[in-house]
Structure 1
Amino acid sequence: MCVDSFWASALTWLAGDGAATIIAAVLGAGVVVAGYVVQQRAVRRERRAAIYSEAIRAVEDYLEAPFLVLRREETKPALRELTTHISDIQSRIAYYSALLRVNAPPNIAGEYIALIAAARREAGTAMTAAWNTDPIRRGADVPLGSRFERGDSDAALTRLISKMR
């Protein structure tokens, strides 16, 4: 008899407010889970955007290095600082290259590698020429209107950004 009364009271509870309570709890849990999933996607998207932008920034810093070399001071401390700065840029490029190869889709990692190759080819040639040129002493001599050829780097950057979107 006790078992029958238990089931009778359970059915009475479910027929009343019990079913509504269970449905509300399930819906509430669903909303919480959906909110968490959406929030985590947004966090991952923001993290990915930060990594992508810093990876591009490292290559852009390398593309600016020829101008740093042109404006160098010929003192030993200044030359040491400049070469250390360029070495740090190379290290950041290697870091982001590895990070993207591990975490990014293969097409994005491949385009980043292509951007690095183009930048090294173009900026490397320009840096060699800059090291073989006398340093710029006056601000008026800084080549603001002209820059070294970086068409391949710009094209590779455009392809990379289109894949990152």
Structure 2
Amino acid sequence: VNNAGIIRRGPALTHRWEDWQQTIALDLSTPFLLSQALARQLVARESPGKIVNIASLLSYQGGYLVPGYTAAKSGIAGLTRALANEWARYNINVNAIAPGYMATELTAMLRSDPDRAASMLARIPAGRWGKPDDLAGAVVFLCSHAADYVHGTVLPVDGGWLAW
């Protein structure tokens, strides 16, 4: 499971190049490099495997004041499909989950603004912020034999946000 990421906030007009590079490096390049290293070992051993990337709702929607994060998470969705197309023949499943708004450090700023938090919650049909534990079932499924014929899927775990 490729689950590491950062967000650097700022308007695209003034977004610092260093922030862009750090975000793309950690949120997109690192999952690629880790997936590549694992796949090389699996192919050499002729072993099946499962790779789960962490995408985002911003893999589907444009973000606001997070250009690098939006680009990286959109890239994760594309990378997931590309690797799935290439590695399925080796019995390597590459999929992703796209968490919705979770009560984590990455959303602390949003949740601390009462007006913004209320407007976000009003848009989530489940009526609450997600918890990291809400992602566990999706990860277990994608890593199980039940998902042996699932390749290139980006599964939203978003409390219904994208259904709105």
Between Structure 1 and Structure 2, whose CA radius of gyration is higher?
1
Q: Greater strand percent: which structure?
A: 2
More helix by share: 1
Structure 1 length normalisation: TM-score? 0.33
TM-score by length of 2: 0.33
